[in-house]
């Protein structure tokens, strides 16, 4: 192991990451109502993990995310929304405000989680895992803005990453989801 890898594992361990993590199912997150959720609950499902923000130019993407959820949820697909305020203070302060906005403005009923950091030393362990070159070399790298999307297969492995400008219902996204749902 390199010094960089050891330092990363020490940091991740401090935030609840297990060095034996093989997929996102090895993590836990707090839902928007404050309840712990082992991501193991989603094993066997296709996931689209998205860092969201309520006051961003891409906030309209909640509509497309909700439509994806409605279209594919009966086939074992979940959108998981992770509100973040890492970019220009574009997220509300409280989970109640976030949830009220998402449900009131966009009718969101896919799983939403508590506000987290997605970049830097305080990034949630899930996002440290998703963005690390050591744990996710093909799709690693900093979150560049709100509404970055990670598509995961039924085994919790990242199979695609889409930037903010890629719409949730872009044909490339829907084709990748449909392919994973047939496996």
Q: Which one of 50, 56, 116, 126 is the catalytic residue?
A: 56
How far apart CA 151 and CA 83 sit, in angstroms, is: 17
How far apart CA 74 and CA 7 sit, in angstroms, is: 41
- Alpha carbons within 13 angstroms on the beta-carbon side of residue 63 total 5
How far apart CA 67 and CA 106 sit, in angstroms, is: 10
How far apart CA 129 and CA 63 sit, in angstroms, is: 27
Whether residue 56 lies in the annotated active site: yes
Q: Which residues are catalytic?
A: 56
């Amino acid at each position: 192991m390199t010094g960089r890898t050891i330092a990363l594992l020490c940091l991740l361990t401090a935030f609840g990451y297990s060095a034996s993590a093989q997929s996102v199912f090895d993590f836990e997150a707090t839902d928007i109502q404050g309840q712990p959720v082992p991501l193991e609950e989603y094993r066997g499902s296709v996931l689209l993990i998205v860092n969201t923000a309520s006051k961003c130019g891409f906030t309209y993407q909640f509509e497309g995310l909700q439509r994806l959820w409605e279209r594919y949820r009966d086939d074992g697909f979940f959108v998981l929304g992770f509100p973040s305020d890492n970019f220009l203070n574009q997220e509300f302060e409280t989970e109640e405000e976030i949830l009220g906005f998402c449900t009131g403005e966009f009718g969101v009923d896919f799983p939403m989680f508590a506000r987290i950091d997605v970049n830097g030393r305080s990034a949630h362990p899930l996002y440290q895992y998703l963005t690390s070159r050591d744990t996710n070399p093909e799709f690693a790298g900093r979150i560049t803005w709100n509404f970055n999307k990670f598509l995961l297969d039924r085994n919790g492995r990242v199979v695609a990453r889409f930037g903010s400008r890629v719409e949730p219902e872009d044909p490339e996204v829907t084709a990748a989801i449909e392919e994973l749902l047939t496996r």
